[in-house]
Amino acid sequence: MQRLHLQKLVFYAVLLLMTAVYIGPFIYQFFISISHSKDVFGSPGNLIQPPNWTLQNYANVWVDLPFKQWLVNSVFITVVQTITNVFFSALAGFVFARLDFPGRRFIFGLLLSSLTVPGIILLVPKFIFMNDLRLVNTYTGLIIPNLVTITNIFLMKQFFETIPKDLEEAALIDGCSYFRIFWQIFLPVSTPALAAVAIYTFQGSWNEFLWPVIISITSDHFTLPVGVGFLKNQFQSDWPLLMAGTLLITLPTLCIFLVFQRYFVQGIAASGGKE
């Protein structure tokens, strides 16, 4: 009995230590972001004293940085890519899960093998296309390469394959078209998968750094990560401002996660468990 108690104690100690390691930095970030003084590294003790707190840094984010413009850009890109990814991956996933047509295996094989190609080799050619089409430093250039991703198509395909065939066979005998089967039988039961695709895409687009950093040249086309990434050096003397700005960037993905937790886990289970 004594031993069991000790085991439990050690277990919870480890758990708390891990928790501190994983969210401690964010708490540090929060205290810096509300610090009155710019000298945040003097002593951590000063950070946690209420008289030294202020919300002014959060107000300054909107004044001292082009934060509003970056926010609008980030929201616009993320919303467009999320909608198109849900739509296109559902369409393509349905085809690969249910419709047998000449060339399906070939196309699917191509998709499968290009998943193993590292994204880094796509950068230069994509940039050259964009440059030739005069799309560098435009919203179109920022958005179109990620209107649909192969991973999302796979996720939808795998989900659709779990739907029993009885329903659609009955519908086919009744003379139902495949278009209606997709629209009226498949989509209504696919909320978890569609939500997973939406959440992943949202998170991916919101946090994406490499492509926007290459394709956007001027500040008015920066997304939030790119803006902060470029102006970080300029504002490194103002840590409270920088920490307030970066905390604001984190909020949307955190909220989405809190609201849609169970879809997150289901989605990873579907994509990761079957490999």
Partner 1 sequence: MAQPATRQREITTIAWLFLGFPLLLISIFVFFPIAFSFLISFFDWNLVTNQRRFVGVDNYTKLLGDALFWKSARNTVLYTIGVVPLQTFLALFLAFVMNQKIRGRGFFRLAFYVPAITSSVVTSTLFIALFSKQGLINQMTGLENDWLTNPRTAMLTIMANNIWTTSGYFMVSFLAGLQSIPDSLYEAARIDGASAWQQFWKITVPMVRPVTYFVLVLGLIGCFQVFDQIFIMSAGGPVNSTTTMSYYVYINGFKYFKLGYAAAAAMVLAVVIFSANQLQNKYFKPEVD
Site residues (CB under 8 A) for partner 1, limited to 200-239: 203, 206-207, 209-210, 213-214, 224-226, 228-229, 232, 236, 239
Q: Under the criterion CB under 8 A, does residue 30 sit at the interface with partner 1?
A: no
Q: Under the criterion CB under 8 A, does residue 55 sit at the interface with partner 1?
A: no
Using CB under 8 A, pick the residue from 14, 17, 79, 170 that binds partner 1: 14
Query: Of the two residues 65 and 243, which places its CB atom closer to partner 1 in the complex?
Result: 243
Of residues 82-111, those binding partner 1 (CB under 8 A):
88-89, 91-92, 94-95, 99-102, 104, 107, 110-111
What's the closest the beta carbon of residue 230 comes to partner 1, in angstroms? 10
Of residues 56-85, those binding partner 1 (CB under 8 A):
none
What's the closest the beta carbon of residue 70 comes to partner 1, in angstroms? 11
Which residue in 67, 75, 45, 50 sits closest to 244, CA to CA?
67
- Asked if 220 contacts 30 with a C-beta cutoff of 8 angstroms, the reply is no
Give the whole-angstrom CA distance, residue 230 versus residue 213.
Answer: 9
Of residues 33-52, those binding partner 1 (CB under 8 A):
40-44
Query: 140: which 2 tokens?
Result: 């179109």
Q: Under the criterion CB under 8 A, does residue 173 sit at the interface with partner 1?
A: no
From 16-24, 53-61, 75-83, 185-193, give the range in contact with partner 1 by CB under 8 A. 16-24
What's the closest the beta carbon of residue 227 comes to partner 1, in angstroms? 9
Q: Under the criterion CB under 8 A, does residue 258 sit at the interface with partner 1?
A: yes
Cα dihedral 112, 115, 203, 215 sign: negative
From 55-63, 65-73, 113-121, 190-198, give the range in contact with partner 1 by CB under 8 A. 113-121
What's the closest the beta carbon of residue 55 comes to partner 1, in angstroms? 19
Largest CA distance in the chain: 76
- Asked if 207 contacts 223 with a C-beta cutoff of 8 angstroms, the reply is no
The helix or strand, by DSSP H or E, that contains position 265, with its residue range, turns out to be helix 239-272
Query: Of the two residues 1 and 121, which places its CB atom closer to partner 1 in the complex?
Result: 121
Q: 217 phi and psi, to 5 degrees?
A: -105, -40
- Asked if 217 contacts 134 with a C-beta cutoff of 8 angstroms, the reply is no
Which residue in 147, 150, 254 sits closest to 203, CA to CA?
254
DSSP 186: I
- Asked if 33 contacts 57 with a C-beta cutoff of 8 angstroms, the reply is yes
Of residues 132-151, those binding partner 1 (CB under 8 A):
144-148, 150
